[in-house]
């Protein structure tokens, strides 16, 4: 969304403070990533929320968190009915499976299917590879700074109450 700090061409205004330029760049990356997610969703007969759900489930798996419907709903800001609808869609498409927790047979966990992971890699792989090449051009101290910035920024967004 344009604001009073950007000229009509959408490029950062050299007169604005450097930190605000960084905020605008972060916003631009977020918008571009969101557009790619929407394109992936459209190409694969999914709703954009379905793609966000897959990302949440993959993030939970990487963090060794049990991926339950409750966790997914909380991460997506959805109520129970909305969460069930997303899971049902993803299951019908073969992207997610409901499995019983081995430690508590009453609990149902969600698992992203290998075919969905392959589909995501085919689409997002070149973008991820490009970002990794950019990061490879940074020295370890620079990567640590980027990591610190992104982690702190994520904390700001995660801690602010949603409207």
Tell me what the mean pLDDT of segment 7-26 comes to: 73
Share of the chain above pLDDT 70, in %: 89
**What pTM was computed for the model?**
0.82
- Which comes out higher in pLDDT, residue 31 or 1? 31
State residue 7's pLDDT score: 47
Q: Report CA torsion sign: 19, 20, 22, 23.
A: positive
Give the pLDDT confidence of 68-97 residue by residue, as tens digits.
999 999 999 999 999 999 999 999 999 999
Instruction: Give pLDDT, residue 5.
Output: 46
- In whole angstroms, give the CA distance from residue 154 to residue 63: 16
Q: Tell me the mean pLDDT in the region 60-68.
A: 94
**Is the pLDDT score of 25 beyond 70?**
yes
pLDDT at 49 over 70: yes
Whether 27 shows a pLDDT value over 80: the answer reads yes
């Amino acid at each position: 969304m344009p604001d009073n700090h950007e000229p009509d061409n959408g490029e950062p205004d050299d007169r604005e403070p450097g930190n605000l330029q960084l905020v605008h760049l972060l916003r631009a990356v977020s918008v571009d990533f969101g557009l790619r997610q929407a394109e992936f969703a459209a190409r694969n007969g999914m709703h954009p929320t379905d793609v966000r759900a897959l990302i949440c489930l993959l993030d939970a798996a990487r963090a060794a968190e049990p991926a339950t419907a409750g966790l997914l709903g909380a991460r997506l800001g959805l109520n129970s009915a909305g969460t069930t609808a997303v899971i049902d869609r993803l299951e019908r498409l073969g992207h997610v499976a409901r499995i019983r927790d081995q430690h508590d047979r009453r609990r149902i966990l969600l698992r992203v299917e290998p075919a969905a992971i392959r589909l995501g890699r085919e689409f997002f792989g070149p973008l991820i590879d490009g970002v990794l090449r950019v990061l490879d051009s940074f020295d370890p101290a620079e990567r640590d700074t980027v990591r610190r910035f992104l982690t702190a920024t994520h904390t700001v967004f995660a801690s602010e109450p949603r409207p």
